[in-house]
Amino acid sequence: MYRIVTKKVLNPSVTQMEIEAPLVARKARAGQFIILRVDDEGERIPLTVAGCDAGRGTVKIIFQIVGATTALLGAKNEGEYISDFVGPLGRATETEGVKKVCVVGGGVGCAIAMPAAQEFRRLGAEVTSIIGFRSKDLVILTDEFEACSDRMILMTDDGSAGRHGNVTVPLKELLESGERFDRILAIGPLVMMKFVAEAARPFGVPVVVSMNPIMIDGTGMCGGCRLSLVHEGKRITKFACVDGPEFDGYEVDFDEAMTRGRMYSEFERHAYEETCRLLGRA
């Protein structure tokens, strides 16, 4: 059993928790993920490590309440326990040789982007962070990004906080003005990552994307995180949880990934509604 040390509501649908898991905290690195089960009868879900404190033996997770399991997890309080917390899994963010990086985060994907930005900064890289949200009410982690960035740009779709527009607007402005990065790391909704890659393509800047959004059980056995890459003219299949979760953004077939992701939406909606009834929220 794994104790919930702290719990903090970041916005109406996003929650941050620190979980007591000393062995995971000792080894986890930016970009990796864990698999948890809320109870012994629950499903496995993968969540990216949003930070860890080896001294305290805690691992930070940030999750959006979108389905049955995240609703159950969100109903837990400080001092309570979850059944399983396994990791770290997946490949850590590659940082070698990067002196100047642009980290682009969208929505709850900023929880994944943040530890990567922190790691780049720790290693001495110049960090530009662009983070985007639909509206002011959904903005999270601005203080954390400010602390680890040489330059931080906040965008909202409706203009209620920061600048008006999506994350590709300032990215294009920077690239068109002659700014050059060793790498762009984009983490967020699939459609956002697709357009970040397209915005950067004319400038030839390497783009890395996290395919965490398509992972399901995190072991490679379910096949739910299967994705197609076009590598050197050949179409190949990879699995986000065991081969990633980070990939070359120019190679990913985002349209296929988005189509496959919608296959489970109706099932998940029914499971979420049933869980809400059990929790007395409906």
Q: Rounded to two decimals, what is the model's pTM?
A: 0.85
Contact residues for 198 (Cβ-Cβ < 8 A; gap 6+): none
Burial of 115 by CB count in 10 Å (0-12 exposed, 13-18 middle, 19+ buried)? buried
Distance CA 255, CA 63 (A): 24
Distance CA 83, CA 44 (A): 10
Q: Is the pLDDT of residue 192 over 90?
A: yes
Distance CA 106, CA 136 (A): 13
- According to DSSP, the residues that pair with 227 across neighbouring strands are 238
pLDDT of residue 267: 45
Q: Is the pLDDT of residue 171 over 90?
A: yes
CB atoms within 10 A of CB 159: 12
Q: If you average pLDDT over residues 92-118, what whole number do you get? A: 93
| AA letter at 106 | G
pLDDT of residue 103: 97
Whether the Cβ atoms of residue 105 and residue 50 lie closer than 8 Å to each other: no
Tell me the C-alpha to C-alpha distance, in Å, between residue 33 and each of 14, 189, 219. 17, 17, 11
Could you tell me the domains of the chain?
A: 2-89 (2.40.30.10), 100-262 (3.40.50.80)
CA nearest 213: which of 126, 142, 121, 107? Answer: 107
pLDDT digits (tens, 9 = 90+) for 249-266: 999 988 888 886 665 555
Q: What is the mean pLDDT of the chain?
A: 88
Distance CA 94, CA 20 (A): 26
Distance CA 207, CA 213 (A): 17
Six token digits for residue 82: 């979850």
pLDDT of residue 229: 86
pLDDT digits (tens, 9 = 90+) for 117-158: 999 999 999 999 999 999 999 999 999 999 999 999 999 999
